[in-house]
Chains A and B, each alone.
Chain A
Amino acid sequence: MTAVALGPGRVTQAGVTKSEWIKLRSLRSTWFSLAAMVVIVDGIGTLFSALHAHRMEGGAGPDVRLNFDATQVSLRGVFLAQLAIGVLGVLVITGEYATGMIRSSLAAVPRRRPVLVAKALVFAAVTFVVSLPTTFLGFELGQLAQRSTHGQADLSTPGALRAIFASAVYLTLIGLLAVGIGFIVRNTAGALATLFGIVLVAPLLVNALPEPYATDIAKYLPLNIGARVVATTDYDPTSLGPWAGIGMLAVYALVALVAGAFVLARRDA
């Protein structure tokens, strides 16, 4: 062991963020999940668009054409893709608990909170940077597949640009909700069950409530927020507006992350 010149250095949020970026990009599951999201959004957008176009060529009534939401059809894949992003968001932290890596991470950053902040930042940035071109491409491919209907949307169609952008934000926020739940639950299976219980199962349960509770509660559920976000014309009038919904979802993600930070600081690693 010879003398080593390491230069000065201390734990900083920037250093921890760099570390989390190295961690995220150095796992294959990251790239599998992101690739799955791209394939799902763009594949389903194209496929559903083509199927609808085919059906219309076969002669659909004017009422069908009138209510048809060409943008929504091309972005439907978002609802399956949220599974891939949710799994990635959960694994970002539960993978560390499962392997014991968390002990190395927290020994290196004993104040702990910078780890959560860095994970959320890096995950959100990567997810958004990948999902925005993905929803854009899904929209364009979907409209291409609907060309024959002459009813396809384009970027100047009211709500289309908003739907593309907000869909990417929706995926990112679902992912952040997953990160927060992962920090709270720590265990992969438990965190996934919690996340998809909230996102996918809660709407079914709420539907079973008597009115007006069903309608009043349903609009606050993440899945229904997502349904409004991808739509431009064909949406449930009782739902929250697209940006109000995104704001609501951001609050959920933030609450989960704050609770996750609390758990991280208090519990033994």
Chain B
Amino acid sequence: MIEAHALTKRFGDKTAVDHLSFEVRPGRVTGFLGPNGSGKSTTMRLLLGLDRPNSGGSTINGKRYGDLPAPLREVGALLEARAVHTGRTARNHLLAMAATNGIPKRRVDDLIGLVGLDGVADKRVGGFSLGMGQRLGIASALLGDPQVLLLDEPVNGLDPEGIRWIRNLLKALAAEGRTVFVSSHLMSEMALTATEIIVVGRGKLITTGSVADVVRRAAGASVLVRTDEARRFGALLVDAGHQVERSATDTLIVTGADSATVGRIAAQEAIPLVELTPQHATLEEAFMEITRDAVEFAAELPASADTTGATR
């Protein structure tokens, strides 16, 4: 369980995190979504006690992070910017981390196998591909077998196989009853792994809830109708109080009504319909809609393509 209460962090006159409050519950994967620069990484650092909030606070399992007697045994973290000395081998990095929290050495050997680093465990991290670096980061996070996991952009830069590995791992960890909190700027990714999402923009909470709820609320229901009598039918729907947009000579997009309502009106008025399709917004579209006003650098938004297949 992670709780944030009115977390606020300013850097100079820029407010990176702005009175952000949320709860992350155990037993499910919770996505932390927001465009670049929306304060996700800063929030992660605040939760881990790396940055100090200007006001507000956060707890993990009811305790302030700094008060945890053995933080690695309660919280595992994967930070976005790699947090490993490049001159050290993967094994030595894990051994050094384990020693701080009294975690036995054999756990390091087990994890090296579990994350698939056997072949490179004794090589220096500086030569690692992004994928191997993320696997090492996951191993670090799992060292203390923690109940709470915080992962900042875990699939960034991974190849498809690595992405699938992370997805399955996150789901498995949540299925074991752990609290799994994953940040991403990729909605499509979250749609596949998360059940709950917390959406932020410019450091503020925009919305939160289950993935389905958020999509429904953001996009609203709309129905696509095709008919040869588009003009007349459109006018009727407007009279009935619905919003209608004519997207082609024979096609209408009706918002504020579901397909049953639209079909009933068509039957009453004896208008033959060629097609009647409910429109489902994707999480991606919902996200664009929700965060449209909160995107810090609008031109940066299409950059979501930068995240596949970069493994050397």
Same complex? yes
- On chain B, the residues within 8 Å of A103 by CB distance are 45, 48, 50, 79, 81, 83
Residue count of chain B within 8 Å CB distance of chain A? 47
A95 at the interface (CB under 8 A from B): yes
CB distance from B248 to the nearest CB of A (A): 52
Q: State whether A7 and B71 are in contact (beta carbons under 8 Å apart), knowing that A28-B87, A104-B84 are contacts in the complex.
A: no
Please tell me if the beta carbons of B172 and A1 are within 8 angstroms of each other in the complex: yes
- Chain B residue at minimal CB-CB distance from A26: B92
State the main secondary structure of chain A at its contact with B: helix
A15 touches B99 (CB 8 A): yes
- In the bound complex, residues from chain A placing their C-beta under 8 Å from that of B110 are 4
Give the complex CA separation of A7 and B71 in angstroms: 15
Size bin of chain A's contact surface = 35 or more
Partner of A100, one of B68, B71, B73, B81: B81
Task: Give the A-B contact count at a CB cut-off of 8 A.
Answer: 125
Cα A10 to Cα B73 with chains together (Å):
8
B72–A268 touching, CB < 8 Å:
no
Q: Measured between C-beta atoms, what is the minimum distance from B66 to chain A in Å?
A: 4
Query: B267 at the A/B interface (Cβ < 8 Å)?
Result: no
Do A110 and B87 contact each other (CB < 8 Å), given the known contacts A4-B145, A22-B96, A268-B50? Answer: no
- In the docked arrangement, what's the CA distance between A138 and B86, Å? 35
Q: Tell me if A263 is interfacial: C-beta within 8 Å of chain B.
A: no
Q: Answer whether A16 and B100 are a contact pair too, CB < 8 Å, given A110-B71, A268-B50.
A: yes
Contact of A255 with B by CB under 8 A: no
Which B residue's beta carbon lies closest to that of A108?
A: B100
- Whether A9 lies near B70 (C-beta < 8 A) is yes
Is there an interface contact between A27 and B97, defined as CB atoms closer than 8 Å?
no
- Please, which residues of chain B bring their CB within 8 A of the CB of A9? 70, 73, 101-103
Using CB atoms and an 8 Å cutoff, list the residues of chain A in contact with chain B: 1, 4, 6-12, 15-16, 18-20, 22-23, 26-29, 95-96, 99-111, 268-269
